[in-house]
């Protein structure tokens, strides 16, 4: 090794030491958060090992014997496997297909409202449901759709027959999607609205000179301008496809709709925490976390290959 | 300016505005409806007369709720959880966001990656539950506060905001002999009021609206937060009917009745009250707060 190389190395080392010394207060500050992440975020990840052990409460995590992939095999052989995966994916895919595009359309239409104060009022109203709790939203669904709820009152008033929506498996998914739409339409649109206000006015002027009408301006100027934002939101949505809003489903479901409403996480909650099958349900949960994670990576890679923005 | 001429576009404008008003009505009507039912006369509610405007006027539903000790208790519990939880959130988030915002902080990339990783990969419900109970946090409010002490998403928003503050200010304070804690407290935070208020709002709403952690970790009914109370009353339908029967039998014969849905809606409206009151005041600040959060970096 030449002496200059060694000098560079030692210089680098002392530079690093300087950085560490100068940053000692910063490390001290970050200490508590780092402990937090180690305990509450990585702790449970470490605890995932019970998916590979036959967990017995009395023996503790480390005393329980290893069983390898037994629980994963048991899950794949379980008749409820396909039902759970299907229900989870259908809810997630429906969310992307029906709910995801709505805020984009809403933002585009809102952008066409001429009065600025009108835009602001509409937008402020549209945020409101985002801040309402999932318990209240589920309560609204269940009371409005009850036999004597307002929806059935209206159906009866126009000569129809009262229908028990909450107990009807066919209605579970639409109720889930529509209530999500009601709650998140305005909030999800914020990011698109902001992207729209950043579009360069000159682009529109140029388009007008080229003879573009309003529709053509939207297609050729506005949409390309917000495409990167849409791409990012899309990756996030795909990455979250399996993490369907667990709380909402838990509150909306009942025994009569389990066929379509039971998703992986509600199953884990019911069989795991209420039923005590810790290891088995941890394996199930881990299966969906890993799937989710892989899908996020794939979606990100695909977006990057297509030349769109990516998360990283 | 964009061109606004053409009959087609005018027609579109009219339809667009009608559509926007319709959307606003759909958003507001459920809340309005619950409110008018909750203040209407009990008999009118039970016979289905209340649809678009209140019929009669009665505060019985609210009085009945106020007599329910569990309701008042849960309301108070939620206030305690929200205030203490939000303070913990803010301190922890700032303590992490600030070092990560400093370009001269060695290891920021690694820490950031680890934090973002936990956004997408978690241990899941059972290991988290076991951890929290093993730490002895079960049946305490710590179980509702500590596991979510830092939201990575909010932390990134805050970090991005801090990054926008000129580094020269930090350097100048450093040369004047201030350490990083001083710099954070007397240079950075005073300049970050908008983002701090945004964080307060996000975290506080999260605590106010949370119910699932309480369902998991709390067993004593007197510890329940408001959302769990609402869920038990409206969705599981247990406590309310009892409170209702005692209320109805305690009133004299011939007095106005308390309808079950009026009572439920009164409880729901009261559970939303802080949000409905605070919302109009702060709603215009949201856009700036949310927009800062870009994941990249």
- Pair A24, A129 in one domain: no
- Pair A163, A299 in one domain: yes
Where residue A14 falls (left for φ over 0; alpha for ψ -120 to 50; beta otherwise) is alpha
- Pair A41, A156 in one domain: no
CA atoms of A262 and A276, how far apart (whole Å): 18
A85 domain-assigned: yes
Q: How many domains does chain A have?
A: 2
Cβ under 8 Å to B: A residues 257-286: 265, 268-269, 272-273, 278, 281-282, 285-286
What CA–CA distances, in Å, run from A234 to A89, A100, A204, A254?
16, 8, 26, 31
pLDDT at B254 over 80: no
A45 domain-assigned: yes
Per-residue model confidence (pLDDT) at position A56: 82
A232 touches B: beta carbon within 8 Å: yes
* B3-14 residue pLDDT tens: 556 788 889 999
- Pair A129, A244 in one domain: yes
Taking an 8 Å cut-off on Cβ atoms, the answer to whether B209 and A311 are in contact is: no
Question: Chain A: nearest CA to B60, how far in angstroms?
Answer: 19
CATH of region B62-297: 1.10.3720.10
Percent of chain B with pLDDT over 70: 87
Q: Which residue has the tokens 């999500």?
A: A180
Average pLDDT over residues B55-64: 88
pLDDT at B74 over 60: yes
A17 domain-assigned: yes
Per-residue model confidence (pLDDT) at position B294: 41
pLDDT at B241 over 60: no
Kindly give, in sequence order, each residue whose CB lies less than 8 Å from that of residue A69, ignoring residues fewer than 6 positions away: A52
What ranges make up the beta strands (E) of chain A? none
CA atoms of B273 and B191, how far apart (whole Å): 31
Residue of B106, B115, B261 with shortest CB distance to A19: B106
- Pair A109, A14 in one domain: no
pLDDT at B252 over 50: no
CA atoms of B85 and B214, how far apart (whole Å): 13
SS3 category, A55: coil
pLDDT at B295 over 70: no
Contact predicate A281/A263, CB 8 Å: no
Signed CA dihedral, A83, A173, B225, A124: sign only: positive
Per-residue model confidence (pLDDT) at position B253: 45
Contact predicate A109/B19, CB 8 Å: yes
CA nearest neighbour of B212 among A140, A95, A240, A265: A265
User: Which segments of chain A have a pLDDT < 70?
Assistant: 1-2, 307-312
Per-residue model confidence (pLDDT) at position B288: 55
pLDDT at B245 over 60: no
- Pair A112, A35 in one domain: no
| Domain spans, chain B | 62-297
The better pLDDT of the pair B257, A158 is held by A158
What CA–CA distances, in Å, run from A139 to A128, B26, B267?
17, 17, 11
- Pair A26, A86 in one domain: no
Strand partners, B179: none
User: CATH code at A171?
Assistant: 1.10.3720.10
CA atoms of B165 and B145, how far apart (whole Å): 30
Taking an 8 Å cut-off on Cβ atoms, the answer to whether A124 and B211 are in contact is: no
So what's the ipTM on this one? 0.89
A63 domain-assigned: no
- Pair A27, A93 in one domain: no
The domain in which residue A32 lies consists of 3-52
A243 domain-assigned: yes
CA dihedral A180, A194, A93, A288 (to 10 degrees): -90
* A125-147 residue pLDDT tens: 998 999 999 999 999 999 999 98
- Pair A201, A90 in one domain: yes
Report the 10 Å Cβ neighbour count for A86.
12
């Amino acid at each position: 090794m030449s002496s200059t190389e060694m000098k560079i190395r030692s210089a680098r080392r002392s530079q690093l030491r300087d950085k560490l010394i100068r940053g000692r207060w910063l490390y001290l500050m970050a200490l508590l958060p780092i402990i937090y992440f180690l305990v509450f975020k990585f702790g449970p990840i470490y605890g995932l090992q019970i998916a590979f052990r036959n967990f017995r409460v009395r023996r503790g995590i480390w005393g329980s014997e290893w069983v390898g992939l037994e629980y994963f095999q048991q899950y794949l052989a379980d008749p409820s496997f396909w039902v759970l995966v299907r229900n989870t994916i259908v809810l997630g895919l429906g969310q992307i297909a029906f709910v995801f595009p709505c805020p984009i359309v809403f933002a585009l239409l809102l952008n066409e409202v001429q009065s600025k104060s009108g835009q602001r009022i509409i937008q402020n109203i549209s945020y409101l449901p985002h801040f309402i709790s999932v318990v209240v939203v589920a309560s609204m669904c269940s009371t409005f759709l009850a036999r004597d709820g307002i929806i059935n009152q209206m159906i009866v008033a126009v000569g129809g027959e009262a229908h028990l929506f909450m107990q009807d498996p066919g209605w579970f998914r639409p109720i889930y999607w529509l209530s999500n739409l009601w709650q998140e339409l305005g909030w999800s649109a914020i990011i698109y609205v902001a992207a729209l206000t950043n579009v360069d006015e000159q682009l529109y002027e140029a388009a007008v000179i080229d003879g573009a009408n309003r529709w053509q301006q939207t297609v050729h100027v506005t949409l390309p301008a917000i495409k990167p934002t849409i791409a990012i939101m899309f990756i996030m949505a795909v990455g979250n496809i399996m993490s369907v809003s667990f709380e909402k489903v838990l509150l909306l479901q009942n025994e009569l709709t389990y066929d379509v409403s039971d998703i992986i996480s509600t199953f884990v909650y019911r069989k795991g925490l209420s039923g005590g099958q810790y290891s088995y349900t941890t394996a199930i949960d881990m299966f969906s976390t890993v799937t989710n994670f892989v899908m996020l990576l794939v979606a990100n890679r695909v977006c990057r290959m297509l030349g769109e923005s990516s998360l990283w | 300016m964009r061109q606004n001429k053409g009959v087609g576009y005018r027609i579109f404008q009219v339809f667009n505005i009608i559509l926007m008003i319709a959307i606003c009505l759909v958003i507001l009507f459920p809340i309005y409806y619950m409110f008018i039912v909750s203040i209407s006369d009990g008999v009118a509610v039970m016979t289905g007369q209340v649809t678009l405007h209140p019929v009669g006027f009665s505060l019985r539903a609210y009085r009945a709720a106020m007599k329910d000790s569990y309701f008042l208790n849960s309301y108070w519990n939620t206030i305690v959880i929200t205030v203490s939880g939000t303070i913990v959130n803010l301190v922890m988030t700032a303590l992490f966001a600030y070092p990560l915002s400093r370009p001269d902080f060695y290891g920021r990339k690694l820490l950031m990656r680890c934090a973002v990783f936990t956004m997408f990969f978690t241990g899941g419900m059972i290991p988290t539950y076991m951890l929290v109970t093993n730490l002895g946090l079960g049946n305490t409010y710590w179980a509702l506060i500590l596991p979510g002490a830092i939201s990575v998403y909010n932390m990134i928003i805050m970090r991005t905001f801090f990054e926008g503050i000129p580094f020269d200010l930090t350097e100048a304070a450093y040369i004047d002999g201030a350490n990083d804690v001083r710099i954070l407290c007397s240079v950075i935070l005073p300049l970050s009021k908008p983002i701090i208020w945004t964080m307060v709002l996000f975290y506080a709403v999260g605590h106010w609206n949370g119910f699932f952690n309480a369902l998991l970790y709390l067993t004593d009914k007197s510890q329940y937060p408001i959302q769990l109370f609402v869920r038990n009353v409206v969705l599981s339908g247990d406590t309310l009917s009892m409170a209702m029967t005692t209320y109805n039998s305690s009133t004299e014969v011939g007095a106005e009745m308390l309808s079950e849905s009026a009572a439920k809606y009164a409880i729901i409206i009261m559970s939303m009250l802080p949000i409905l009151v605070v919302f109009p005041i702060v709603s215009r600040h949201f856009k700036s707060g949310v927009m800062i959060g870009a994941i990249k970096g």
